[in-house]
Structure 1
Amino acid sequence: MVKKSGLVGMVVTALPILELITFFVLGARLGFLLTFVLSVALFFLGSWLFRYRLAAVANATASSLVGQDHSDGSKVSSGLLALVGAGLLILPGFITGSMGLLLQFKPVRTLVLPRLTGNIGSMVGSVGHRFTPRGDVIDVDVVPNPDSRPRPSTSSPELL
């Protein structure tokens, strides 16, 4: 069985190679100019969507912090996932672009979000147990000891 870290390493290594293969295959089918124009169009679409999604996430976060929205944070997390999708559209490549485009649709985000939040919750949950209270809190004030101040040397330095 492959560990998760090994799988991530394989994906990170294979993705640029797959992106290049996809670019060349589309270039052979559609022509280089149209493939290049599509790649640039995905970049501009991703840039516009990133600005739009960033503002939406900021508004959703602010409304949930102020207390106007008492949901469980699914609106903010769905917006963050759409923001990640917009970032994937900005990256050059048609595979990342198609994944980013899919993440712009709410039904896809509702399918992906529970799996991601389950993984993150299990990782953060194991770390959070270290910060439980361990007993009484002892509050102390540090007072300098007047006898511990450095005193000037009474001997004169030696000259060579």
Structure 2
Amino acid sequence: MQIREATAADWPAIWPFFRTIVEAGDTYSYPRDLDEATAREMWMLRAPGHTAVAVDEDGTVLGTAKVSPNHMGGAAHIANGSYMVDPRHAGRGVGRTLGEYSLDWARAAGFRAMQFNAVVETNTRAIALWESLGFEIMTTLPEGFHHPTKGYVGLHIMYRRL
């Protein structure tokens, strides 16, 4: 598996699994009916942000990540990351590889830490992954996320120094 910067040519491969993940409504706080143009604008970042893809030896996009400043001004030294793995390629280490890559990229770009603002507490696979990469749950917003089948569940804020 190779991780590289995403290009506009990658979007047609990203969009189908992006749409599937967002429409499910159980891990992202994006509107479930997010249109493609808005999704592309939100995901395919320009500097100082960075969007990457994980591809296999055939060039198939397996997953994607984006990293950007979490806030502006005096808080711009904290990165934020978001990740999506094509469900057809889950369980192959794509998320871990993207996570490790994004931490290295953020460190090299001068960020001092990374913060995840909204990790749904029922997303236990993601939480276990982020904790294994050194993230801590700093707090949980009770009922901060409306899950489509579990109702109102907590929303974690996770953090790791770089």
With the length of structure 2 as denominator, give the TM-score of the two structures: 0.21
Larger Rg: 1
With the length of structure 1 as denominator, give the TM-score of the two structures: 0.21
